[in-house]
Amino acid sequence: MDLLDQLHAQFGRVGSAVPVSDRGGTQVWRVDTAGGVVAVKLDTDGGRAAAELAVLRMLAWPALAGWGESEGRAWLATRWVAGQTTTDVWSAVRQSTSHHPQVRRRTLLATLDLCEAVARLHRAGWLHGDLRPEHCLHARGGVRLIGLSHAVGPAADTPYRSSGEPGADGAEDLDLVAPELCAAALRGEPARPSPASEVYALAAMIRKCWTGASPLDYDGAEPAAERRRRLIADGLPLRAVPDRCAWPALDARLATALRHDPDARPRVAQLARMIGSL
């Protein structure tokens, strides 16, 4: 049975199907069905959809709506959520279109929702493993985390992909990867995430969405992936925040989670409290 037939069997009449992304060995489609709008993720190479499906089933993820296999490739469907990415949430502050305290406060509250979503996953014994702006959807009712193919949990059979750093599909993606994971990859070891590497990724993502640039200072260069990986592993200073969106108090709080030493970083719940005190 092909994918369309399986979708029809599980959700009823299938209407329009709009491509959303084609990246990292998976395609994502927005599909209208009689049972509601769903996001369908299909493996094209590497098994990420199969890994994510296994994670979602172990987590009893409420948004998981269906799954199957088509022509030897796994697919899964989750309930579609209309929301903004973290990049979108920070746009007004990043572009300095408004320095109004209410705009900044609204952005901080959305960021706190994100921190709480990640902390909730941690309390359940799981790490997301691939935090990036497009995997964090700010919607009515809170933040939904998606893209869990790299998630690591307490079970021995966690379907973890150990080939390289989580999320490192391109050189710029490495800006969100903690130094110790870059170092592990350089040694040819599995880059297994930890609570410390996850808070680093979260802080790096927030800073990048806020400033519109890498959180790290490459001294004017934009190195290719291998060179960037080595520089991150060795340690880099933080890039100065542009004057247009300066926010020293926030910068200081995020800097604690971007320390090179993983033992010196706060946990996600601690970072949330620090940001919430602004």
**173: three-class secondary structure by DSSP:** helix
Last residue of a domain, which of 57, 79, 101? 79
The DSSP bridge partners found for residue 152 are: 127
Same-domain status, 25 and 93: no
Q: How far apart are CA 42 and CA 197, in angstroms?
A: 28
Same-domain status, 32 and 152: no
Same-domain status, 65 and 108: no
Same-domain status, 129 and 238: yes
- Find the mean pLDDT for residues 186-208: 93
**20 HSE (CA, 13 A, CB side):** 18
- Find the mean pLDDT for residues 20-45: 93
Range of the domain at 44: 3-79
Same-domain status, 57 and 105: no
pTM: 0.92
- pLDDT higher than 60, residue 165: no
CATH of the domain at 116: 1.10.510.10
Same-domain status, 60 and 184: no
Tokens linked to 228: 């960037």
Same-domain status, 112 and 55: no
Same-domain status, 191 and 220: yes
Crossing angle of the two packed helices 101-123 and 268-276, in degrees rounded to 10:
160
Same-domain status, 75 and 89: no
C-alpha Rg value of the chain to the nearest Å:
19
Q: How far apart are CA 51 and CA 48, in angstroms?
A: 5
Last residue of a domain, which of 23, 50, 79? 79
Q: How far apart are CA 2 and CA 16, in angstroms?
A: 17
**Alpha-carbon dihedral angle through residues 232, 238, 241, 247, given to the nearest 10 degrees:** 120
Same-domain status, 172 and 227: yes
- pLDDT higher than 80, residue 166: no
- Find the mean pLDDT for residues 102-118: 94
Same-domain status, 71 and 159: no
Mean of the per-residue pLDDT values for the chain? 90
How many structural domains does the chain have?
A: 2
Same-domain status, 181 and 214: yes
Do residues 245 and 210 lie in contact, with contact meaning Cβ atoms separated by under 8 Å?
Answer: yes
Interval 69-102: pLDDT, tens = 999 999 999 999 989 999 999 998 888 765 678 8
